[in-house]
Every structure is written in C-alpha cells, then in structure tokens.
Amino acid sequence: MTQSSAHSHAHAHGVADLTTRRLALALGLTLAFVFGEALAGFYANSLALLTDAAHNLTDVAALALSWYALRLANRPAHAEKTFGYHRAGILIALFNSATLVAMTIWIFYEAYIRLVNPPAVEAGLLIVVAIIAFGVNLGTALLVKQGSRDDLNLRSAYVHLAGDAISTFGAILAGVGIWLTGWVALDPLVSILIGLLILWNAWQIIRESTDILLENTPPDVDMTAMVQALIQVPGVQSVHDLHVWSITQNMRAFSAHVVTQDGLISAGALIQREINEMLSRRYHITHATLQLECEGCDPDDLYCDLGAAPHMQPQD
C-alpha cells in the first residue's frame, strides 16, 4: 500500500468513525424524547403529536440500523464476501423506507377516524411539545446530514429525521390554528400532509435502493457517450460486453471487453491506465475490470445477456 493510499484509507475510517458517533448521539436524543412526546400526545389527545412520536419511534429503529450498517460496511472483504459489506447500507435504506410507507398508511387511517369523529385537542400542550420536538428533530437531522447526499443509508436516516422536523413544525401550526379557531380538524389534516411528505421521500429512497440492488446503470451515466469516450482512448478499436453498476450510491463498478491492436503487453497496460483515468475523471468509477482482446476476435453484443445459453461446440 502506498503512502497516499494509506492516508486515504485512514481518512475514510476517520470520517466513518465520526459519522458513527454522530448517529449514536442522534439515536440517544431521539430515544429519550420519543417517550415524553408520546405521553404528551396521549394527554393532549393530539394525533399530530402521536403521529410524530410514532414516527420518532421508527427513527430510533432507523438510526440504530443505519449505525449498525455503517459499522458493518467498515469490515474488510473476505473470501465469502469479496465486495465486503457495503451493500448492507442499501438493504437498511430499503428497510427504513418500507417502515416509512407502513407508518404513512397508519397515519392516513388514524387521520380518517379523527376526521369522522374529531376529539377534543389540548392546543396549548400541543404547541409546547411540538416546539420542543422541532428543536430535537432539527438538531438530530443536522447531526446526520453530513455525508447523506452520497450515502443512501445515511440519507434514509436523514429523511426520517428531517421529515420529523417538518412534521413537528406542522404540529406547531396545527396547534396555533386550533388555539385561534377551535377547529380541531386541523390536527388530522396536518397529519395527512405529513404522511404525504413522508410517503414521497420514502418512495424516492425505495426506487434508488431497488435500482442499486438490481444493478441498474447509474442514472447520470450516458452509456452512448461512455462508449464514444472509450473508443477515443488511443489504441481502442471497439468495446463490447459492457456493464456499469453501483455497489453503493457512491461506489461504482465497471467491466468491459476492449478490442485493441495485437501488440505488446506493455502497450495494453498503457491502454488500461488511460481507460481507468478516464473512467475515474468523467464517471467517478474507481473499480474497473477490463479484458483486452486483439483484433480479429468476434465481438459479442455491446450489452451481454448474462442469461443467454453459452455457445456449445459440436461433438463428434
């Protein structure tokens, strides 16, 4: 391992450790608050507060799972898991998003019941608790925000917490509206709006998680432009059996068969280096598997069908 790669490896572990500590702190704060908010919601008979407390409870599970997945991802690869444990974060993101969908269904059901038979709501307590909840949710969301853009696992936890911050702000507005107008239907109506927001964010993460697990081409990669960029590398004649996929949101892999002129191995190594530099610079791909082939090889399709039956040699 070179000095620069060792430094990068140590830096990555340092960032991961710091993120793990922030997740643990957010987990502790959320767990401590959820009990108090649930008690206040029952006392005030507020669906908005109960909704937020229940959502906070899913945040406890989401943060715990995200924390565990982050620690798991730091484990080294081995013979049974040659890509390591990086996909654990994607599975946790998918699970966290599924819990958000289930929570939204419950929110809609409870809101419907309360719209049909609206109970009395203690507006003053609703406002006070919601203000405290907003501060806690906003603080914990900021704790895990750093790095969430490039890590789907962290983003699922951040969406949980940011959604809570918005929902508690909605609870504040509902409490003020009830206090001013006495219209208790504002409480379930705000809950429905909160549920729609949660559902939208959950769907975005579910879709992206599924794309990664299905090993879809990353959405920002134009395959036609990539092929043209590969062909422009000096010495490359054509490309086939091309695959680009994501291991995690910010870790991409690439494999291809590259047809070149028949020549020295050293010339092929130069072509490989040029391709790797281009892929890293233009597409942020740092894990590429290249199979060089000389002219005269019969190329397969550009995108190889892995499920196709192999060609069999006729037997005498």
Residues 60-83: tens digit of each pLDDT:
887 888 888 878 877 888 888 887
Query: Residues 33, 121: one domain?
Result: yes
Query: Residues 177, 285: one domain?
Result: no
- 283 lies in which domain range? 223-294
How far is the C-alpha of 109 from the C-alpha of 283, rounded, in Å? 45
Query: Residues 14, 110: one domain?
Result: yes
Comparing C-alpha atoms, which of 117, 19, 131, 32 is closest to residue 68?
19
Query: Residues 11, 67: one domain?
Result: yes
How far is the C-alpha of 139 from the C-alpha of 26, rounded, in Å? 8
Instruction: Tell me the pLDDT tens digit for each residue of 245-274.
Output: 998 877 899 999 999 988 888 888 999 999
Instruction: Tell me the pLDDT tens digit for each residue of 132-184.
Output: 878 887 888 888 877 677 777 788 888 777 877 877 788 788 888 888 887 87
Is 149 part of any domain? yes
How far is the C-alpha of 296 from the C-alpha of 293, rounded, in Å? 9
Structure confidence at residue 304 as a pLDDT band (50, 70, 90):
low
Query: Residues 235, 206: one domain?
Result: no
Pairing of strands 236-248, 251-260: antiparallel
Is 311 part of any domain? no
pLDDT of 316 reads 45
pTM, two decimal places: 0.71
How far is the C-alpha of 106 from the C-alpha of 83, rounded, in Å? 38
**Alpha helix stretches (DSSP H) within the chain:** 3-44, 47-73, 88-116, 123-145, 152-181, 186-213, 223-231, 265-283
Q: Taking 80 as the threshold, does the pLDDT of residue 121 lie above it?
A: no
Query: Residues 227, 153: one domain?
Result: no
Query: Residues 195, 285: one domain?
Result: no
Query: Residues 264, 174: one domain?
Result: no
Q: Taking 80 as the threshold, does the pLDDT of residue 290 lie above it?
A: yes
Query: Residues 64, 163: one domain?
Result: yes
Is 309 part of any domain? no
Query: Residues 209, 229: one domain?
Result: no
Average pLDDT over residues 18-28: 79
